[in-house]
């Protein structure tokens, strides 16, 4: 079967910044494929290259077997793209915006009216269709943006952070809509830094960090690869590193403990991988108590996608987000000081 999307060894640099180092992924027809990673990881650049909006430095990109580099026009006809920022004209009504979109895609005039009506109904926008889009709520604007990306019935719908800033009700509406598309045979490629979103929606997922795919598979496969259960432990609210190191050395000696990672970004907390054991918490607490170490907080859970990310990078996805935000703030301050 020809992949709906094929990306091999994609690279893109902006000056000294290597936004995408070497991304490879394969999306099969009719599946929801999630690209998970923090802001600045290279997700948006990868999608922009796929959608022929940014020219890659090197690599291979195909949509339904057609090269996006050699034949970008044909690829655009097969793709629907919805960017992070909502792109609608506030003066136009929802219906007028879709009529404009239909004209831009040169849809047959005889089918435009019915196509628009069908798309509006699919996204629950019927009663809002003839109201100016500037009066829409954030959730309705996002749904209208999705309608514009879907109007020409693309083989592949590409969504970049489609639920950022939406309330939970609007997010659930978008999730249900994407599941409907999958049932109808549309391939969906979605980026997100919401763990629960990708876990709930994606048939398969690739985790990207610093411009490189670090892990891929179904959510269940990725969690199984990590193995065991998780214990998150804080000796103190903010533990000294030497104390955390002492605790790690102690806990690594326990037979139920497979791995211990010190999370410096979260006050030197400890993340333990343990064999499934109903007494794991008490065993860990008892070992710390005998060594004269306190327990500020402790919790046990099953593996999550964040555990997959932590195992691969040594930091959680939230830590990566905070680090990226701090880096952007530092650059902004430096730029301001030079003026």
In contact, 130 and 99? CB cutoff 8 Å: no
Write down the H helix ranges in 202-295: 219-226, 241-251, 280-290
Q: Does residue 330 lie in a domain region?
A: no
Q: Do residues 63 and 167 share a domain? A: yes
Q: Do residues 87 and 38 share a domain? A: yes
Q: Does residue 116 lie in a domain region?
A: yes
Which pLDDT score is estimated for 336? 52
Question: In this structure, what are the phi and psi dihedrals at residue 320, rounded to the nearest 5 degrees?
Answer: -65, -40
Cross-strand pairs, 231: 272, 300
Q: Does residue 243 lie in a domain region?
A: yes
Per-residue pLDDT tens listing for the chain (339 residues): 899 999 999 999 999 999 999 999 999 999 999 998 888 889 999 999 999 999 999 999 999 999 999 999 999 989 999 988 887 888 999 999 999 999 988 999 999 999 999 889 888 899 999 999 999 988 899 889 889 988 988 999 999 988 887 888 888 888 888 898 899 899 999 998 788 888 889 999 999 988 999 889 999 888 888 777 889 999 998 889 999 999 999 999 999 999 899 988 788 999 998 987 768 999 999 999 999 999 999 998 888 888 888 777 777 777 777 776 665 554 555 555 555
Q: Do residues 49 and 189 share a domain? A: yes
Q: Does residue 329 lie in a domain region?
A: no
Q: Do residues 245 and 125 share a domain? A: no
The residues, any chain, with a CB within 8 Å of residue 73's CB and separated by 6 or more, are: none
Q: Do residues 51 and 194 share a domain? A: yes
Question: In this structure, what are the phi and psi dihedrals at residue 260, rounded to the nearest 5 degrees?
Answer: -135, 125
Which pLDDT score is estimated for 32? 96
Q: Do residues 27 and 99 share a domain? A: yes
Rg of the Cα atoms in the chain: 23
Which pLDDT score is estimated for 327? 55
Q: Does residue 86 lie in a domain region?
A: yes
Q: Do residues 198 and 267 share a domain? A: no
Q: Do residues 273 and 218 share a domain? A: no
Q: Does residue 332 lie in a domain region?
A: no
| Calpha distance 141→82 (Å, rounded) | 12
In contact, 107 and 151? CB cutoff 8 Å: yes
Among the three residues 169, 200, 222, which one is the final residue of a domain in this structure? 222
Q: Does residue 335 lie in a domain region?
A: no
Q: Do residues 113 and 155 share a domain? A: yes
Q: Do residues 88 and 191 share a domain? A: yes
Q: Do residues 137 and 32 share a domain? A: yes
The CATH number of the domain where 275 resides is what? Answer: 3.30.70.920
Give me the DSSP letters along 90-152: TTSBHHHHHHHHHHHTT--HHHHHHHHHHHHHHTT-GGGTTSBGGGS-HHHHHHHHHHHHHTT
Among the three residues 177, 201, 222, which one is the final residue of a domain in this structure? 222
Which pLDDT score is estimated for 266? 84
In contact, 98 and 120? CB cutoff 8 Å: yes
The CATH number of the domain where 94 resides is what? Answer: 3.40.50.300
| Calpha distance 274→96 (Å, rounded) | 57
Classify residue 254 as exposed, middle or buried by CB count within 10 Å of its CB (0-12, 13-18, 19+). middle
Containing structural domain, residue 279: 228-302
In contact, 52 and 76? CB cutoff 8 Å: yes
Q: Does residue 323 lie in a domain region?
A: no
196 half-sphere exposure, CB direction, 13 A CA radius: 5
Among the three residues 222, 245, 274, which one is the final residue of a domain in this structure? 222
Question: ∠ at Cα 113 (111, 114), nearest 5°?
Answer: 70
> 314: left (phi > 0), else alpha (psi -120 to 50), else beta?
left
Cross-strand pairs, 63: 5, 66
Nearest by Cα to 117 from 132, 131, 130? 130
Torsion of CA 207, 210, 212, 213, to 10 degrees: -10
Number of structural domains in the chain? 2
Nearest by Cα to 243 from 233, 255, 229? 233
Q: Do residues 23 and 87 share a domain? A: yes
């Amino acid at each position: 079967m020809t992949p709906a999307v094929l990306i091999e060894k994609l690279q893109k640099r902006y000056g000294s910044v290597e936004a995408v180092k070497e991304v490879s992924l394969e999306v099969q027809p009719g599946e929801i494929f999630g690209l998970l990673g923090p802001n600045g990881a290279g997700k948006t650049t990868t999608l922009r290259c796929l959608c022929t909006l940014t020219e890659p430095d090197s690599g291979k990109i195909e949509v339904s077997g057609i090269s996006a580099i050699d034949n970008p026009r044909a690829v655009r006809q097969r793709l629907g793209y919805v960017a992070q920022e909502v792109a609608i004209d506030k003066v136009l009504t929802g219906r007028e915006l879709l009529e404009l979109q239909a004209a831009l895609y040169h849809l047959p005039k005889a089918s435009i009216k019915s196509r628009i009506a069908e798309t509006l109904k699919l996204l629950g926008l019927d009663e809002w269709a003839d109201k100016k889009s500037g009066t829409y709520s954030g959730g309705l604007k996002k749904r209208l943006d999705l309608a514009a990306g879907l109007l020409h019935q693309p083989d592949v719908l590409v969504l970049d952070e489609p639920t950022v800033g939406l309330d939970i009700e609007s997010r659930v509406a978008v999730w249900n809509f994407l599941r409907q598309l999958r049932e109808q045979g549309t391939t969906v490629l979605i980026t997100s830094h919401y763990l629960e979103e990708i876990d709930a929606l994606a048939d398969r997922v690739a985790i990207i960090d610093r411009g490189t795919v670090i892990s891929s598979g179904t959510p269940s496969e990725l969690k199984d690869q990590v193995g065991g259960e998780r214990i998150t432990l804080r000796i103190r609210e903010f533990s000294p590193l030497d104390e955390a190191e002492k605790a790690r050395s102690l806990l690594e000696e326990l037979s139920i403990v497979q791995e211990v990672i010190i999370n410096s970004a979260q006050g030197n907390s400890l993340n333990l991988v343990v064999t499934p054991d109903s007494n794991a918490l008490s065993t860990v607490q008892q070992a710390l108590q005998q060594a004269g170490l306190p327990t500020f907080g402790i919790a046990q859970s099953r593996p999550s996608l964040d555990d997959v990310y932590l195992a691969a990078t040594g930091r959680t996805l939230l830590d990566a987000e905070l680090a990226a935000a701090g880096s952007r703030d530092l650059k902004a301050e430096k730029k301001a000081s030079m003026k």
